Structure 1
Amino acid sequence: MNPRWQSTLKEYLEALVIALVLAFFIRTFIVQAFKIPSGSMLQTLQIGDHLLVNKFSYGVKFPFTDHIIVPVDDPEYKDIIVFKYPGDPSKDYIKRVIGVPGDTVEIREKKVYVNGKELNEPYVQYTDPGHISTMRDNMPPRKIPEGEYFVMGDNRDGSNDSRFWGNVPRENIRGKAWIIYWSWEGPQNIRWNRIGMLVH
């Protein structure tokens, strides 16, 4: 092979390896892409929103494990988080943190109380306001244990969340929703006004 071509090929291979290592590093430790597949977070997040999730917000994990090697911070009330669904860790869910360790969460006729105080939740949507469901809209006081988080979708009448399957273990949390980098309902309906929006 021509020495010049050998040199060019070597440069391309080196660049490819560096790019792959960087991509692996970024996805493992810094950010990960996530697509909104359902309406459980309406109207805050729309079906077809594509997000970047900040994986550094809550600490650096050892690759391919849930073990945090560099603690950074803990999830707080109102954070929107992506986590491994406790019922099937192969699936990622996205919800809003409502209760943190030590909190007592209660629901009475759709209204959420944390430590006895009713939450002000301007981000919440109700699609079935006139109907009160025992399981969905009323929950006796529940104390959140250490290392666990109570999460709910903003679309309260259409969200499968901690009311039904329990709390999210700290180690299941992948990161904090950060920014919408793409949003569409289909090729003919790109939501340009949502691109670049911070998630909160």
Structure 2
Amino acid sequence: MEEKTAHESPSNGGERSPKNHRGGMASWVRDLVISVAVSAFIIIFLYQPVRVEGTSMLPVLEDQDRLFVNKLAYRVGEIHRGDVVVFLYPRDRQKSYIKRVIALPGDDLKIDHGRVYVNGTPLTEKYVPPRFEDSRSLPEMIVPEHEYFVMGDHRSISSDSRDFGPVDRDLIYGKAAFVYWPMEQVGVVH
């Protein structure tokens, strides 16, 4: 049985005929079109690159970090407490915000001098260093159905659900997945 190779040598002594050259160009164009189509599919339906503007998510995300947002995560899965999400700002849907989910629909939420309580239990927040804590309080509330209470990790400067209220599920379009720039920040977003 003869084994075929993926790339065979030209039979005319190594010279390319004009016909072979055209075939190579057509193959190159085909590969380019497929690459563009796959890239467009990924960006439209799966992952979208975004740039962080601001410092409200320090120390996890820094100003000007670039990351990929997983747009499929919440089409097929649930939003969980602790997820870092990207959403359309409720007061100006031309802007996107990135924050951490603190409370889910139906949760009982209270903030007492910066300490967050969900369903009566203090939330353990290892992602908020002491220097970024805030002493604001928020009266007890039940997070409405189909809405999520979000906060920045840099609590003392973040504009978040404490200011603009819980975020409707329909405004959340992705989960922060992976920082790809700058190189020293490369890694999965936690």
The alignment partner of 2:188 has SS state of coil
Most deviating of 43-52 and 101-110? 43-52
- SS of structure 2 residue aligned to 1:101: coil
TM superposition score normalised by structure 1 = 0.78
Name stretches of at least 5 consecutive residues in structure 1 with no aligned partner. Answer: 60-71, 184-190
Q: CA deviation at 1:164?
A: 0.4
CA distance in 2, matches of 1:96, 1:149: 10
User: Could you tell me whether the CA contact under 8 Å between 1:42 and 1:125 is conserved in 2?
Assistant: no
The amino acid of 1:14's aligned partner reads: R
Give the deviation of 1:13 after TM superposition: 3.4
Q: Counterpart of 1:198? A: 188
Residue identity opposite 2:139 in structure 1:
P
State the match for 2:3 in structure 1: none
Task: Tell me the TM-score normalized by structure 2.
Answer: 0.82
C-alpha separation in 2, matches of 1:169 and 1:28: 21
* Distance in 1 separating the partners of 2:140 and 2:131: 24
Equivalent residue number for residue 75 of structure 1: 79
**Identity percentage of aligned residues:** 40
Contact kept? 2:70, 2:177, Cα under 8 Å: yes
Q: Confirm or deny: 8 A CA contact 1:126 1:156 kept in the other structure.
A: no
Would the aligned equivalents of 1:50 and 1:180 in 2 still touch at CA under 8 Å? yes
Q: In structure 2, what is the Cα distance between the partners aligned to 1:149 and 1:24?
A: 30
Check the 8 A contact 1:123/1:154 in 2, yes or no: yes
Structure 2 residue identity aligned to 1:118: P
Q: Does 1:21 pair with 2:74?
A: no
Match of 1:114 in 2: 118
Q: List alignment gaps of at least 5 residues for structure 2.
A: 1-17
* C-alpha displacement of 1:147: 1.0
1:150 is aligned to 149
SS state at 1:75 partner: coil
Q: Deviations over 1:162-191 (max 9, x none)?
A: 0000111111111111111112xxxxxxx5
User: How many residue pairs were aligned?
Assistant: 173
Cα distance, 1:125 vs structure 2: 3.4
SS at match of 1:178: strand
3-state SS of paired residue (1:142):
strand
Counterpart-to-counterpart distance in 2, 1:8 and 1:164:
59
1:20 Cα deviation (Å)?
2.0
Cα distance in 2 between the residues matched to 1:126 and 1:166: 24
**Counterparts of 2:60 and 2:24, CA distance in 1:** 49
**How many angstroms apart in 1 are the aligned matches of 2:27 and 2:85?**
40
Please state whether the residue corresponding to 2:127 is helix, strand or coil: coil
SS at match of 2:35: helix
Runs of 4 or more, structure 1, over 4 Å off, are 2-9, 126-129
Of 54, 57, 76, 1:41 maps to 57
Amino acid at match of 1:171: D
Query: What is the CA deviation profile of residues 103-133 of structure 1, one whole-angstrom value per residue up to 9, with x for unaligned ones?
Result: 021111011111111111111135476x84x
